[in-house]
């Protein structure tokens, strides 16, 4: 890795790639952002945690985003017809941001891409192709891709950033090792109408007899996703629409959503969850965003990881981009992903919400009242994202999920 990085090619114009282009363009680096722009009509990642809001403000687009999004003040979790939990971001002790947004992703991605272009980055509306240099660890832009920059670079760029997302261009090209999580789920999602809300504007997470679902209120519609076991999905129909509609019709908890839920878009499918590259950078290349790692759609961590990763990578590049700087970036992103993954694991094994139920009882005892201020500051801020990259708060959540359930069986709240 070179000690000075002046020119950067970024592959992928999603939030991570575009935000990085903005940071580097603003700092005077020569940046080309390759973005074909052929995204699907709907994309996972429509719910933003509060910790993303300062990034929107830094990019100068928060007011624009507010204008086309749904204002969100909290989150709701529905376990069955009798049990649910809702909380407001404003009730989180020590919170710096007490609100967020549910966003139409096509509009959000366009807003960030425009900011990147205004910062001085050159936007190329083509799909980049990258070649491996012999059998080495180094990569370079293919001649036709370099030609598409129209001489903007003087030869090959100093650094190639793979922000291509789940296609994982460089990991596949270099056959990079990766770590896969325990889940083998499929997500089917679409936009719907006629679906009720427990708390208007909140992101909703419902426990199903098979898996779980999300409800994300958007202007004039509801984003609905079903995350279920991949083998179970195959029993529900011959195509995605049949499978989605079968869940919509069969699941008992969905009867709480209203009498007339109706799908208004085609159904999209995602399967490669909980996948993290074991190497985040190499000779003249680095991974960013979902290309580096993707954990799970629950808790809406994806956009925060994208923005936070882009800022951390820009810091490393502007510090010279040597191996030490890139290693700090790699360790930061890896820690952030792992912190979310541990919390998500406890969502699936039932420990997380068992802990919440235990906490509602214990907080009214003398020892509970003594410790409540501490817990209510650190635990919720993991889910809002404001403490998810810290050391202490995620570790506290993990410790309590393991050792503070007071003999309560978490299996009743486990996701099946």
SS3 content of the chain, % helix, strand, coil (to 5): 40, 20, 35
In eight-state DSSP terms, residue 47 is: B
pLDDT at 2 over 50: no
* Residues 114 and 16 placed together within one structural domain of the fold: yes
Instruction: Band the pLDDT of 3: cuts 50, 70, 90.
Output: low
pLDDT at 204: 97
Alpha carbon distance 86, 157 (integer Å):
49
CA 202, 208, 212, 213 dihedral sign is negative
CATH number at residue 23: 3.50.50.60
pLDDT at 362: 79
Number of domains in the chain: 3
Which of 222, 239, 272 terminates a domain? The answer is 272
* Residues 25 and 146 placed together within one structural domain of the fold: yes
Gyration radius of the chain over CA positions: 22
Which of 309, 341, 373 terminates a domain? The answer is 341
In eight-state DSSP terms, residue 220 is: T
Instruction: Band the pLDDT of 166: cuts 50, 70, 90.
Output: confident
* Residues 237 and 123 placed together within one structural domain of the fold: no
Instruction: Work out the average pLDDT over 314-335.
Output: 96
Alpha carbon distance 317, 302 (integer Å):
22
Position with higher pLDDT, 369 vs 304: 304
* Residues 223 and 278 placed together within one structural domain of the fold: no
CATH number at residue 218: 3.30.9.100
- Within 8 A by CB and 6+ apart from 363, the residues are 369, 372, 375
* Residues 261 and 382 placed together within one structural domain of the fold: no
* Residues 404 and 311 placed together within one structural domain of the fold: no
pLDDT at 80 over 90: no
* Residues 56 and 114 placed together within one structural domain of the fold: yes
Interhelix angle 366-378/351-362, rounded to 10 degrees, is 130
Which of 307, 341, 375 terminates a domain? The answer is 341
Alpha carbon distance 377, 126 (integer Å):
46
Does any domain span residue 136? yes
In eight-state DSSP terms, residue 121 is: P
Q: Name the token pair of 14.
A: 């999603």
pLDDT at 1: 45
Alpha carbon distance 25, 20 (integer Å):
8
Position with higher pLDDT, 295 vs 39: 295
* Residues 63 and 145 placed together within one structural domain of the fold: yes
pLDDT at 335: 97
- Within 8 A by CB and 6+ apart from 250, the residues are none
pLDDT at 272 over 70: no
* Residues 335 and 291 placed together within one structural domain of the fold: yes
pLDDT at 369: 75
* Residues 43 and 150 placed together within one structural domain of the fold: yes
pLDDT at 229 over 80: yes
Instruction: Work out the average pLDDT over 2-18.
Output: 90
- For residue 76, what are the β-bridge partners? 86, 204
CA distances for 371 relative to 157, 181, 364, angstroms: 54, 33, 10
Does any domain span residue 1? no
Q: pLDDT tens across 101-131, in order?
A: 999 999 999 999 999 999 999 999 999 999 9
Q: pLDDT tens across 334-375, in order?
A: 999 999 999 999 999 999 999 988 888 877 787 777 777 788
Instruction: Band the pLDDT of 199: cuts 50, 70, 90.
Output: very high
Does any domain span residue 226? yes
pLDDT at 81 over 70: yes
Q: pLDDT tens across 35-71, in order?
A: 987 777 788 899 999 999 999 999 999 999 999 999 9
Burial 139-152, CB ≥16 within 10 A → b, else e: bbbeeebbebbeee
pLDDT at 365: 82
Share of residues in the chain with pLDDT > 90 (%): 82
Domain of residue 13: give its range: 7-69+104-178+274-341
The mean pLDDT of the chain is: 93
Q: Name the token pair of 194.
A: 């006629």
Residue 339's Cβ-count burial label (10 Å; 0-12, 13-18, 19+) is: buried
pTM score, whole prediction: 0.94
pLDDT at 38: 76
> How many alpha carbons lie under 13 Å from residue 20 in its C-beta half-sphere?
36
pLDDT at 372: 77
pLDDT at 17 over 50: yes
Instruction: Band the pLDDT of 376: cuts 50, 70, 90.
Output: confident
- Within 8 A by CB and 6+ apart from 205, the residues are 75, 76, 77, 78, 212, 213, 214, 215, 298
* Residues 258 and 210 placed together within one structural domain of the fold: yes
């Amino acid at each position: 890795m070179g000690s000075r990085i002046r020119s950067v090619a970024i592959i992928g114009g999603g939030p991570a790639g575009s935000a990085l282009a903005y940071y580097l363009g603003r700092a005077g680096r020569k940046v080309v952002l390759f973005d074909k722009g052929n995204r699907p009509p709907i994309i996972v990642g429509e719910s933003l945690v509060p910790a993303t809001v300062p990034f929107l403000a830094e990019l100068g687009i928060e007011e624009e985003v507010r204008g086309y999004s749904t204002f969100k003040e909290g989150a709701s979790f529905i376990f069955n017809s009798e049990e649910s939990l809702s909380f407001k971001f404003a009730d989180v002790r020590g919170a710096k941001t007490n609100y967020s947004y549910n966003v139409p992703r096509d509009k959000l991605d366009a807003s960030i891409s425009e900011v990147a272009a205004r910062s001085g980055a050159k936007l190329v509306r083509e799909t980049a192709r990258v070649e491996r240099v012999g059998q080495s660890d180094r990569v370079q832009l293919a001649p036709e891709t370099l030609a598409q920059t129209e001489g903007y670079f003087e030869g090959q760029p100093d650094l190639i950033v793979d922000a291509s997302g789940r296609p994982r261009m460089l990991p596949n090209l270099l056959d990079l090792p990766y770590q896969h999580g325990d889940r083998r789920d499929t997500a089917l999602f679409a936009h719907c109408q006629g679906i009720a809300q427990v708390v208007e504007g909140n992101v909703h997470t419902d426990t199903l007899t098979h898996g779980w679902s999300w409800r994300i209120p958007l202007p004039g519609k509801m984003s609905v996703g079903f995350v279920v076991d991949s083998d179970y999905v195959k029993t529900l129909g011959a195509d995605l629409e049949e499978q989605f509609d079968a869940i919509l019709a069969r699941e008992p908890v969905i009867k709480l959503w209203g009498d007339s839920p109706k799908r208004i878009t085609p159904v999209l499918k995602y399967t490669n969850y909980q996948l993290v590259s074991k190497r985040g950078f190499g000779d003249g290349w680095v991974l960013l965003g979902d290309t580096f790692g993707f954990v799970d759609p629950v808790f809406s961590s994806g956009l925060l990881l994208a923005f936070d990763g882009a800022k951390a990578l820009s810091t490393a590049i502007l510090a010279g981009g040597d191996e030490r700087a890139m290693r700090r970036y790699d360790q930061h992103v890896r820690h952030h992903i792992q912190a979310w993954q541990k919390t998500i694991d406890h969502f699936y094994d039932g420990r997380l919400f068992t802990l919440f139920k235990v906490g509602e009882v214990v907080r009214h005892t003398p020892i509970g009242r003594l410790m409540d201020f501490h817990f209510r500051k650190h635990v919720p801020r993991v889910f809002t994202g404001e403490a998810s990259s810290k050391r202490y708060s995620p570790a506290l959540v993990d410790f309590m999920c393991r050792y503070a359930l007071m003999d309560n069986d978490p299996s009743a709240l486990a996701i099946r």
